[in-house]
Amino acid sequence: MQALEDLDYLAALDNDGNLSEFGIIMSEFPLDPQLSKSILASCEFECVDEMLTIAAMVTAPNCFLRTPPGTEEIALTRWRKFSHPAGDHLTLINVFNAFKEASAKPPSQYYSNEKWCRDYFLSCSALRMAEVIRAELVEIMKRIELPISEPDFGSKENIQSIKKSLLSGYFMHIARDVDGSGNYLMLTHRQVAQLHPFSSYSNTRRIPEWVLFHEFSVWEDNSIRVISEISPELFMELVPQYYFTNLPPSESKDILQEVINHLSPVSTVKEEEKTNNDSKENEKCPQTPTEQRCVIQ
């Protein structure tokens, strides 16, 4: 029942409980429904190239190796090279691009992909698996004739588009730091979780208040893995209203309701302006009886 409810929130089901046209397209991807939805949303927000990389990296095994005792600080310093201030999803893009760049260099007797990965405490097999998965996703996009936008990673607009695409699929995976110490309360199930040790935020003093996470792991000390910072305004822009209404009562929901109340007057003014403009247009160009019948139909 929970799975059906999640699919309904993602607009993958029709009113009869069968796959909708959108759901049929989502099912073409051998991925979790949330990830498939994010890829399809990236077509609208024109960040398909980056979203495919993220999908491949979160589907492949974890690329960050557990470090031998005594090398933790060295590993953190090496990983910091890939860290992106916007969060782990974009950090994974940096890792993948760096691996591709290293792979493009001709191998030498003294340096290879494997050695590059060892130097940065990364799993070479996981990154190669991500390459294979990404290539398969590209082929699926081409087969079902979906557009693949040109890469534009790094620009402010692109980062915002990536977050919008992720929120389109993962609006059910939102958590808020309730006390400023890294104790995250998930909006949907109201469970408390900690940042995963591999998160780029784990080793910084700045802990984001609102985050989107890829998955929640009970067996890893109730941690949320692969997270990115989001704003309440962006969340409310993309979350389905009926999902938000069904959220259990909490302080976080009250804060989000205040965001809605703050944004509503602006929306109302715009709607009134649009109505007034439409009325003026109708006065200038009165409709014939035939046109009026077409509008009614």
Question: 159-198: per-residue pLDDT in tens?
Answer: 999 999 999 999 999 999 988 888 899 998 888 898 888 8
Which pair of tokens denotes residue 236?
A: 């409310």
pLDDT digits (tens, 9 = 90+) for 221-275: 788 999 999 999 999 999 999 899 999 898 999 999 998 888 765 444 444 454 4
The stretches of 27-87 forming alpha helices (DSSP H) are 33-45, 48-59, 72-79
Are 213 and 225 contacting, i.e. CB atoms less than 8 angstroms apart? yes
Rounded to whole angstroms, the Cα distance separating 220 from 3 reads: 23
The confidence score (pLDDT) of residue 273 equals 52
pLDDT > 90: percent of the chain: 62
Provide Rg for the chain, Cα atoms. Answer: 23
pLDDT digits (tens, 9 = 90+) for 33-72: 999 999 999 999 999 999 999 999 999 999 999 888 888 8
Cβ atoms < 10 Å from Cβ of 285: 8
**Statement: residue 105 has pLDDT above 70:** yes
DSSP state of 13: B
| CATH 1.20.120.1080 is the classification of domain 2-170 | yes
Q: Which residues pair with 122 in a beta bridge?
A: 64
The confidence score (pLDDT) of residue 107 equals 65
* Phi, then psi, of 45 in degrees rounded to 5: -90, 5
Enter the pTM of the model: 0.85
Ranges of each domain in the chain: 2-170, 172-297
The confidence score (pLDDT) of residue 292 equals 37
Span 278-291, average pLDDT = 46
Complete DSSP assignment for 206-223: ---SEEEEEEEESTTTSE
The confidence score (pLDDT) of residue 213 equals 95
**Statement: residue 117 has pLDDT above 60:** yes
